[in-house]
Amino acid sequence: MTGRPPEGTVHRLMLIGTLSPETWRFLKYAAIGIFNGVVDFAVLGILVWAFDPERELSVVAVNTTAFFAASFNSFVLHSRLTFQRRLPLFSRWFALFFVVNLGNLVLSNISLLTFRWLLQSTTPLEGQLAILVAKPLTALVLVSYGYFAFRRLFVGPDSPMVASEEVPGRSRVAAR
């Protein structure tokens, strides 16, 4: 045995080396986003079952709490895995990350209330179950906004967070 894959098989790890830096960053961004969605949904689920979410204010408060838990998780994971520089937790980048996330939060609350209303108007779903079914639908709205909003500042090729080696023609000074 030579330690090589058997003849006729595709060595999948070779594929990773052929991905462009932008594609690789997007895949890391997407994986972290999926994990953040799980955190968001889990916190929302716990709070929905613990508190009465029938009033809009309660729904917004519960969703906002879950959203900030996922956003905090997002910054920590992205600063370690996606951004090319490790960022201190309480820095100007952290503040900017949360300011940009406020747009996501507004969209999240509006989407959740809208989808909950649509579900309650058109299906027999009510209360807690309607909220839990509506929450994944909000992710569809947030994914595009989130990537494009963060792309320029944090994960795109023009971002100050991307190492200069990854962007042809970009000087090292520009990456700092």
- Are 159 and 165 in contact by the 8 Å Cβ rule? The answer is no
Q: Is residue 32 in some structural domain?
A: yes
pLDDT in tens, 133-143: 999 988 888 87
Q: Is residue 112 in some structural domain?
A: yes
Q: Is residue 47 in some structural domain?
A: yes
Q: CA distances (Å), 63 to each of 4, 43, 85, 111, 119, in order?
A: 50, 9, 30, 11, 17
Please give the average per-residue pLDDT across 10-35, as a whole number.
73
Predicted pLDDT of residue 49: 86
pTM over 0.85: no
Q: Is residue 147 in some structural domain?
A: yes
Q: Is residue 6 in some structural domain?
A: no
Q: Which range marks the domain in which residue 64 is found?
A: 12-175
Q: Is residue 4 in some structural domain?
A: no
Q: Is residue 3 in some structural domain?
A: no
Instruction: Tell me what the pLDDT averaged over the chain comes to.
Output: 77
CA 13 centroid distance within chain: 25
Q: Is 50 exceeded by the pLDDT of residue 33?
A: yes
- Are 77 and 28 in contact by the 8 Å Cβ rule? The answer is no
**Structural domain total, the chain:** 1
pLDDT in tens, 154-165: 655 566 555 444
